[in-house]
Every structure is written in C-alpha cells, then in structure tokens.
Amino acid sequence: MFGAGGGTSSYREIEETDLIIMWGSNAREAHPIFFHHVLKGVRNGARMFAVDPRRTSSAAWADVWLGIDVGSDIALANAVGREIIHSGLVNQEFIDEATEGFDDYAASVEEYTLEKAEKITGVPAEAIGQLAREYARAETAQLCWTLGITEHHNATDNVLALINLSLLTGHVGRYGSGLVPVRGQNNVQGGGDMGALPNKLPGFQDVEDQQKRARFEAAWGAEIPAKAGKHISLMHEAMDEGDLTALYIIGENPLQSEADSTEMRRRLTSLDFLVVQDIFLTATAELADVVLPAAGWGETEGTFTSSERRVQRVRKAIDPPGEAQDDIAILSALARAMGHHWPTPTAEEAWDEMRQLSPLHGGMSYERLDESGGLQWPCPDLDHPGSLFLHGRLWERPISGRRAPFHAVEDDPPVDTLTEEFPIRLTTGRRLDSFNTGVQSGRYSSPRRIPGVLDLSPEDGDSLGVIEGDRVIVTSRRGSLEAPVRFDRSLRPGLAFMSVHFPDDVDVNVLTLDAWDPKSGTAEFKATAIRVEPLVSV
C-alpha cells in the first residue's frame, strides 16, 4: 500500500492498541499465534470488532460481530466512511496535510447511508454506525484482514476501501495504528519481496521503470523484458487462447488449489509441455511431462519474510531424500543445461546479490539476521535497525514524499449471483489443523481433523430434511459434488462453508468460479452460489 507491498505494523502494536478490527479474518484458526497477540490486546483493554459472514471462533472474542453478507465489504466500508464524515470525526489535519483525493472520495460514499448499507450487507445500521464512531474516536487502531477481503473478483477495491478508512482517521503510520494484511503462507510476503510478481523486481521495484530495470540489467548482464508479465489468471487466459503452451510450476498444486478445477485440468492437459518441481508427486505433478524432485522445508537454507515484514533465517536440519535437490541447485543446473555458465550459489550468496539491488533489504546480512533473530524491512544499510512500522513519513510536516491517495470504489456484488436455482452462498476457507490442499498437513494424524464436509446452518439442514452425516449433492453453475453434511452454528441460514483441504475426497474447486480481480489476479473463492439436495438412497 502507498507503494510498499507489506503490512504497516508489528505484532507487538496490536497488544497495545485501543481498537482492533478483524475484517474477513478468522485468525484464531488460520493464524493462531498472531491471534495470541490480538488476545493480549483484548486483555489489555482493546475493543474488538469482527466483520465476517461467519460467527467464527475469532468473532467470539469480539465486542461486536458484524455478520456481513459475503462480498458486500465495500458497501460496508463506504458506509463506515460516510458515517465518520457525517459525524464530524475525520482527522482533518491528517487529510489536509498527508492525503489527496478526499473530496472525490467523500462524494463517492455519500450514497452509502447506514440504511442502504444495512440493506446491502445485512448488518444492522446501528452496528455499522458504532464501528464507524469507535474506529474514528480511538486513539490507536489496527485494521486487520486476510482472504475474506482478497479472495473476491474485486479484491483490490476491497483493500482500497479499507485503506480509505485509515486515511480518514489517521490510523496509519503511527505506533499502534496501522493496516495489517496477515499473510496466509510462510513466505508469500517473501515471494513478493523477491519480485516473484509479474510486475515487480526484488524490493517491489517496478519492472516497467526504465531506471530501476537498468540497475538490474547492469548487475545481471542481461536484458529484462520491459513489460510486466502475466499473473496467474492472465496465464489461464493465455493458455485458453493457445498463446501459452509450456508451463514450469515450482511448489504449487494449481490443479487442486485454483478455482474451477474442471477447467484447470483441461488447461493443464492441453499444454504442449508441463514441468513440475515439487517435494511430492502432487495431483498437478501427475499431469507433468517432467517432474523435478525438490528438497523441502527443513532440508534447505534461506529466509522467509513474515506478515510483519520480518525477514528470518530458514535453516537446513536434515538431508533431502533420494535425488531431491534444493531449488537454487535445480535452477542453476537448468541454466547450465541451456548453455549458460551459472555456478550454483549458496543461499547466502544469492541473498547477498539480491540485497545489493533491493534497498529495502540492503542491511540484512545473514550475520545480522542470525544475531537479531530477524529484521523488518525497510532496512537499507548495515547500521539500520529495521522498521517497526511503515509510513511514519505521513506524519512529518510537511510530509516527505507523495501524499497517500484516497480511492473511490463502488459496491460490486459477487459475480456468481444467488437465484432460486442456486439459493445458498458457499464460502471457503481453512480450518485450524490443516493447510491449503493438504499436501503437507494431510500427513500428520490430527485428532481435530474435520474431513471434507459441507457445513450448513442447522436451520438450512432442517429445511432440507437432512441430519449431520447425511450425504448431499452440492451443485454450482460449474459442477457438482457429493459430501456429508455437518451443522455449524457459526453459520446463518443461507450461508454454507467448505474447507479447501481435501481435494481428493471433496474437490470444492469443482464448484468455485474463476471470476478474478483484474488488478491482482485473485479468483473469487469466497462467493459461490450453490444448491443443496439430499442424496436419495436407493
């Protein structure tokens, strides 16, 4: 946000903040140790609001739960913004000195009255007003979100709608106040740090910026394509159009993790050439022409970057099995096979090269990372202590650098509409003991495992005439599957939930829609229209 791809705050800030908003995040189950810090904040007297369609185990700790209808986040956020403006609770000094575009934003939210928002979101007007006023009045506030905000066809707009609220109130760039997207995977932040994004070089430097590119070209002695590459959803399109015919997949299981898996299987099998580099023979790897066995976690050296922008060392504890090699070795060998003279660098050598080119990471030598137990970027030089929070510059007067822009965004409901034929909203997510498609987490024996089931509210179960354990047919506009029913009181009538962890048994992505956000490429996993029918036994 504001040019830096990372959360603004440190975990310790949430322990001392006055108000916590968990928006589309069930951290109690998906990020349990982050939630320990949230709980410290609650124990220290912070007020907590949870915005979530489900009354989750995280929401159970909130003072107020806003049970929002799936995909109506922008309407809610805009109504919160309007209420803050109309109550005279904006931070006028901050808006005047550190932001731009306020007037357009204020005009854009004017139509989102509390009453209108209640109609769109299903959240009582009173609760929306309360959230608005408490957020604006709090001395410090942390606004946290996860995939409930980003797995939508308008993911980027959802995030912008939340950022607008922080700009209205000045809840960013100060100790205790910030914006906290909690990352779902060990190194999704680090992947972004390293430029594993189609439009960025390491350190979030824009690939289309000629000056930035030139530095990398000089260091690497090679030309870098001047245009941004394709994100995953654009790759799918290119595969459909026959422009992309060969794919090299490293450490992903897209056959099972991407929306609309029937389409995904068709795409992957119609490629001319598919290479998969993974630690297991995943369902995706089984489709590959060549499988490269990679060394896994615990078997390699490197770094991960956490959700507080903290780079920490990852170390090798055991040798990889069989012929497996770490990714750097495989990539270097591949380059040599293509006729380039690439020696195989150690993880530290590759890191040192990167930090010559990425100012954010410049001061993070392995030696310092080992000594400190981790450093938070930006950390430009060896004397820099790292950064607890971002955007402190917004509070300098006059501010240094660019003003933070408001972005007017409009409510845009889920693509997969609810109709008489598909009356139930299915949303997907994680459970406490499992992880993504279960490739790793499926291999330990958990007493808390909830297998592939369809979670329904008891009320919907009653009206369908099913009891727990009954098998039902779940159908969306893409496909259909069979699953046993489980009742979950955190769900309201009309809302169903499935986890993503057991694609071999219950492949939920047969149902999901690959409508995706044009700005981030994220698919709308969170909003599928389904119908549920009892399986008639014969």
Partner 1 sequence: MTLTEREMSTITAQVNGETMEVPEGSTILDACREVGLDLPTLCYGPTMTAANACRVCVVELEGSRTLVPSCSRALEDGMVIRTGTERAQHSRRLVLELLGSASELDRSGDQLDSWMRAARAESDRFGPNAATVATPPKIEDDLYVRDYGRCILCYRCVDACGVEHQNTFAITVAGRGFDAHIATEFDVALPDSACVYCGNCIAVCPTGALVGRVEFDMREDDTWDESRQEVTRTVCFYCGVGCNLDLHTQDGRIVSVTSPHDHDVTLGNLCIKGRFGWSFVSSGKDD
- Catalog residues that contact partner 1 under the rule CB under 8 A: 11-12, 30-34, 36, 39, 43, 182-189, 279-280, 296-299, 304-308, 310, 312-319, 321-322, 324, 373-374, 432-435, 439-441, 443-448
β-strand partners of 427: 497
- Give the residue among 47, 65, 69 at the shortest CA–CA distance from 56: 65
What is the C-alpha to C-alpha distance for residues 149 and 368, in angstroms, rounded to an integer? Answer: 35
In whole angstroms, how close is the CB of 320 to partner 1 at the nearest point? 9
In whole angstroms, how close is the CB of 2 to partner 1 at the nearest point? 21
DSSP label of 424? E
In whole angstroms, how close is the CB of 434 to partner 1 at the nearest point? 8
Rg of the chain on CA atoms, in Å: 24
Kindly tell me which of 203 and 302 has the beta carbon lying closer to partner 1.
302
Kindly tell me which of 39 and 453 has the beta carbon lying closer to partner 1.
39
Checking DSSP bridges between strand 424-429 and strand 528-534, what pairing results, if any? antiparallel
Kindly tell me which of 113 and 186 has the beta carbon lying closer to partner 1.
186
DSSP label of 456? E
Instruction: Give CA separation, 394 vs 21, 164, 390, in Å.
Output: 22, 14, 9
| DSSP structure string for 119-172 | HHH---HHHHHHHHHHHHH-SSEEEEE-HHHHSSTTHHHHHHHHHHHHHHHT-S
β-strand partners of 375: 311
- Give the residue among 413, 415, 411, 412 at the shortest CA–CA distance from 478: 415
Do residues 24 and 145 lie in contact, with contact meaning Cβ atoms separated by under 8 Å?
yes
In whole angstroms, how close is the CB of 440 to partner 1 at the nearest point? 4
What is the C-alpha to C-alpha distance for residues 31 and 53, in angstroms, rounded to an integer? Answer: 18
In whole angstroms, how close is the CB of 293 to partner 1 at the nearest point? 9
**Residue-wise burial string across 165-179, b where 16 or more C-beta atoms lie within 10 A, e elsewhere:** bbbbbbbbbbebbbb
In whole angstroms, how close is the CB of 58 to partner 1 at the nearest point? 12
In whole angstroms, how close is the CB of 318 to partner 1 at the nearest point? 5
What is the C-alpha to C-alpha distance for residues 55 and 52, in angstroms, rounded to an integer? Answer: 7
Kindly tell me which of 186 and 344 has the beta carbon lying closer to partner 1.
186
In whole angstroms, how close is the CB of 43 to partner 1 at the nearest point? 7
User: Could you give the 3-state DSSP secondary structure of residue 117?
Assistant: helix
Instruction: Give CA separation, 345 vs 85, 220, 235, 316, 367, in Å.
Output: 55, 14, 30, 16, 17
Do residues 432 and 29 lie in contact, with contact meaning Cβ atoms separated by under 8 Å?
yes
Q: Find where tokens 């030598």 sit.
A: 365
Checking DSSP bridges between strand 290-293 and strand 424-429, what pairing results, if any? unpaired
Query: E strands within 174-218?
Result: 178-181, 200-201, 205-206
Kindly tell me which of 388 and 535 has the beta carbon lying closer to partner 1.
388
- How many CA within 13 A on the CB side of residue 206? 6
Kindly tell me which of 147 and 530 has the beta carbon lying closer to partner 1.
147
In whole angstroms, how close is the CB of 279 to partner 1 at the nearest point? 8
In whole angstroms, how close is the CB of 268 to partner 1 at the nearest point? 24
Do residues 454 and 484 lie in contact, with contact meaning Cβ atoms separated by under 8 Å?
yes
In whole angstroms, how close is the CB of 131 to partner 1 at the nearest point? 24
Do residues 485 and 461 lie in contact, with contact meaning Cβ atoms separated by under 8 Å?
yes
Kindly tell me which of 4 and 432 has the beta carbon lying closer to partner 1.
432
Kindly tell me which of 59 and 106 has the beta carbon lying closer to partner 1.
59
Kindly tell me which of 3 and 321 has the beta carbon lying closer to partner 1.
321
Kindly tell me which of 238 and 250 has the beta carbon lying closer to partner 1.
250
What is the C-alpha to C-alpha distance for residues 453 and 491, in angstroms, rounded to an integer? Answer: 14
In whole angstroms, how close is the CB of 322 to partner 1 at the nearest point? 7
In whole angstroms, how close is the CB of 295 to partner 1 at the nearest point? 10
Kindly tell me which of 130 and 146 has the beta carbon lying closer to partner 1.
146
Kindly tell me which of 346 and 446 has the beta carbon lying closer to partner 1.
446
